[in-house]
A and B are shown apart, each in its own frame.
Chain A
Amino acid sequence: MTDEPNPVSSENPTVEALIENIDHPKPDLSSLEVDREDYVIETIHLHKRYGKLHAVNDLNLRVPRGSVFGFVGPNGAGKTSTMRILTTLMLPSSGEAKVSGFSVLTQPREVRRSIGYMPDFFGVYDDMKVWEYLDFFAACYEIPESERPGLINDLLELVDLKHRRDDMVDKLSRGMKQRLCLARTLAHDPEVLILDEPASGLDPRARIEIRSLLVELAKMGKTIFFSSHILADVAEICTDIGIIEAGQMVAQGPIDEMRRQLLPHRQIVITLLGRVDEAKEKLMQVKGVQEILDLKDEAGRKRIQVNFNGEDAGISELLTALTSSGIPVTNFAEQTQDLEAVFMRATKGIVT
């Protein structure tokens, strides 16, 4: 017996699936109708204190109807606290929170009717089958007995658990439990889904499955409010994001606007062997170039940074402008400045 690890082989279906997922298509969100005048979730000067700790500090959250809203922040930022207030599980210290126009303080039952909630950590009953689990919650949502079998089938189909219908709930894998819980949140056809880190603890495949499920649900007209610290995930499936840090909302709005606001331009760093001034001159003529900065020399090579506003085609034009004049370029690279940069810039790392 050897302890040699299995070489990565494309014959292994799991490995194949993982590879396949590396370049999965981006979900298309263009068909979503987001009404930015109508807020399904709204908090007004919301505060939550645990003793001395100010976990939610004057939060004014606004989630537009029909949006997929990513609520992003580092550990301990106050995401779960906010969500527990919104789901009528916890009282705020002060301020007001409304869901579908109902106050979480005075109309908790109406709020519960319009939300489907998936907590960050949840348990399942150990003495129930999958269909019984859904049947139980459907009954708790006052769905008549006669409608339940059909509903359960539909829900299981939606989350791809039909084949596990008669298995015991506690024997399901983490990802399956997560999907089952998601199915449960849909039992009463709520307007809003409030999902606390729906993708945490899942493998890449399950993560992507959950994500596409969320997009699917959004297309069915549901508003989805979910939290995450993985910005890459959020960026792909969100129409809107809110960044929370130390209990305070750092920025919120439509994702494109956030990108523009927090990432004003693209940065291209070019390394040259010489003829720097000539290069600068040529580059300034390309459309979209805003400014050119000198960077520190690196191993005797000149480096400049081009701040650029435009599409990919424009970037290739930059390179063409240099090479066509015979200017020696040794390196040409756009600084990766994705939303992670927005995140890092917005959150200064002050975590309570």
Chain B
Amino acid sequence: MRNPVRLLLGNPVVLKELRGRMRGPRAFIVLTGFLALVGGFAILLYLGMNAASRTNTGQVDGGEIGRTLFAGVIGIELFLVTFIAPAFTAGTISGERERQTYDLLRTTLLPESQLVMGKLFSALAYVFLLLLAAIPMQSLSFILGGTDLPDLFISFVILMTTAIFLGTVGIYFSARIKRTLPASISTYGVALGIVIGTILLFFILTVVTAPLLDRSGNVQASRTTEWIILIGRGALICLNPITTLWVSIDALVEQQSLWAFEYTFQGGSQGATSTVTLPSPWLVFTVLYLVISALFFMFTTRRIRQIDEQ
């Protein structure tokens, strides 16, 4: 088996894409724009928070501001990643068709997996660069307190996983649909689905299960029902990058646990409380989406290997 790093760097598509992407002012402009947006947002947030906390208590809570700033920066990064990852990938295969370079490429010996991997890697490498460049901005919150390295780690993993997933989905649609515009629309549809759709489903679940909840939203039902609701909520939380990050960091703050957290059953066996240890949502999120990404990668490769009907 060949060294995977060499395989990646020896991938002609990676070389070609990076060469093209890094040539000229475009890469510089996108990076600058990204940092300006994230930075500008962070400054606004800081100023706003500062003013707000001053009027309320007359005293600045550094940790509070730090946490909000951190969340805000990640929020805008997530927003940008959900825009950039599809934009960088949904045109990769269809674009080759539209520019009439696809046939030339397909008659070479380039394996389909290398084509897909090359396109995906070069798009993600750039997203990775953007996220890396924004880390100092996130680290501002360290100075103010309230957040720590594990928070940064979790958020970075979640953002990167989101980018990988949306990137593979983008390439999948690009190979499947053959035209860039509908491929982009489909990919943004999926992006919207995981960012907004899952939250809507969460609300629907909450509404449907409302009779089983008490005033503070805790479950008052049999153990089995509580399990079902727990899994339902958990699944929806773990499908959404925002809620995943939220709950994971909550677990980190409340229970000082990066990998797992303890859930205490509220209702059921006449007040006899018991607890169960669950994996932290970011772990589930990452594993789940990486597996789905691998599947999409496979589907894409298979689609490209198929000889066209027309």
Stretch from B31-39, B95-103, B184-192 contacting the other chain? B95-103
A125-B101 CB under 8 A given contacts A136-B12, A136-B15, A139-B12: yes
Check if B104 sits within 8 Å of A122, measured CB to CB: yes
Distance from B304 Cβ to chain A, minimum over Cβ atoms (Å): 12
* Range of interface residues on A (Cβ < 8 Å): 20 to 34
List residues of chain A with CB within 8 A of the CB of B24: 127
Interface: A88 (CB within 8 A): yes
Stretch from A62-70, A106-114, A215-223, A314-322 contacting the other chain? A106-114
Interface: A132 (CB within 8 A): yes
List residues of chain B with CB within 8 A of the CB of A121: 100
List residues of chain B with CB within 8 A of the CB of A50: 310
Stretch from B76-84, B107-115, B276-284 contacting the other chain? B107-115
List residues of chain A with CB within 8 A of the CB of B107: 87-89, 112, 115, 117
State in angstroms the CA–CA spacing of A105 and B107 once bound together. Answer: 14
List residues of chain B with CB within 8 A of the CB of A126: 99
Interface: B204 (CB within 8 A): no
Contact of B109 among A109, A122, A128 (CB under 8 A): A109
Instruction: Considering the complex, give the chain B residue whose CB is closest to the CB of A88.
Output: B307
State in angstroms the CA–CA spacing of A88 and B20 once bound together. Answer: 28
Check if B20 sits within 8 Å of A91, measured CB to CB: no
**How many chain-B residues does the 8 Å CB contact rule pick out?**
24
Complex interface residues of chain A between 72 and 126 (CB less than 8 A to chain B): 84, 87-91, 105, 108-109, 112-113, 115, 117, 119, 121-126
Interface: B215 (CB within 8 A): no
List residues of chain A with CB within 8 A of the CB of B99: 123, 125-126
Interface: A344 (CB within 8 A): no
Check if A140 sits within 8 Å of B309, measured CB to CB: no
Instruction: Considering the complex, give the chain A residue whose CB is closest to the CB of B12.
Output: A139
Residue with the highest number of chain A CB atoms closer than 10 Å, among B15, B100, B108, B309: B108
State in angstroms the CA–CA spacing of A158 and B55 once bound together. Answer: 78
Check if A128 sits within 8 Å of B19, measured CB to CB: yes
Could you give 30 example pairs across A and B, Cβ below 8 Å? A87-B103, A89-B307, A90-B307, A90-B308, A105-B307, A108-B307, A112-B107, A117-B104, A119-B100, A119-B104, A121-B100, A122-B100, A122-B103, A122-B104, A123-B100, A123-B101, A125-B16, A126-B99, A127-B20, A127-B21, A127-B23, A128-B19, A132-B19, A136-B12, A136-B15, A137-B104, A139-B10, A139-B15, A140-B12, A140-B105
Interface residues of B (CB under 8 A from A): 10, 12, 15-16, 19-21, 23-24, 99-101, 103-110, 307-310
Q: Supply 4 further A-B pairs (C-beta < 8 A) apart from A117-B104, A122-B104, A127-B24.
A: A89-B103, A105-B307, A117-B107, A141-B109
